[in-house]
Amino acid sequence: MGTATAAPDLAHVTVGVVTEDRRAQAALAANSAAVAQLLATLKELSIAERDIQTRGFNLSPVYDQQRQGRGGAPTIVGYRVQNEVAVRVRALARLGALLDRVVADGANQVHGIAFALAEPATLEEAARRAAIADAKRRAETYAAAAGVAVGQVLAIAESNAVEVPRPLQRLMAAESAGGQVPVAEGEIEVRAAVSVTYAIAP
- pLDDT by residue (tens digit) across 23-78? 999 999 999 999 999 999 999 999 999 999 999 999 999 988 776 556 667 788 99
Q: Which is nearest to 6 in space by CA: 167, 133, 158, 166? A: 166
Residue 189 lies in a domain: no
pLDDT at residue number 176: 37
With cut-offs at 50, 70 and 90, classify the pLDDT of residue 134.
very high
Residue 70 lies in a domain: yes
Domain count, the chain: 1
What whole-number distance in Å separates Cα of residue 110 and Cα of residue 48?
19
Residue 37 lies in a domain: yes
DSSP secondary structure letters along 148-184: --EEEEEEEEEPPPEEEE-TT-EE---SSTTPPPPEE
Higher pLDDT residue, 64 or 84?
A: 84
Contact (Cβ atoms closer than 8 angstroms) between residue 4 and residue 126:
yes
The answer to whether residue 98 scores a pLDDT higher than 80 is yes
pLDDT at residue number 172: 38
CATH of the domain at 53: 3.30.70.2970
Contact (Cβ atoms closer than 8 angstroms) between residue 165 and residue 188:
yes
pLDDT at residue number 132: 94
pLDDT 10s digits, 149-199? 999 999 999 876 666 655 433 333 333 344 577 788 888 888 999 999 999
Residue 176 lies in a domain: no
pLDDT at residue number 75: 86
The answer to whether residue 202 scores a pLDDT higher than 90 is no
Average pLDDT over residues 108-125: 89
Residue 133 lies in a domain: no
Q: Containing domain of residue 58, as a range?
A: 9-117
Residue 157 lies in a domain: no
Average pLDDT over residues 72-90: 91
Residue 73 lies in a domain: yes
Distant-in-sequence contacts of 91-94, Cβ < 8 A, 24+ apart: 91/46, 92/8, 92/9, 92/10, 92/11, 92/183, 92/185, 94/45
pLDDT at residue number 186: 83
Residue 132 lies in a domain: no
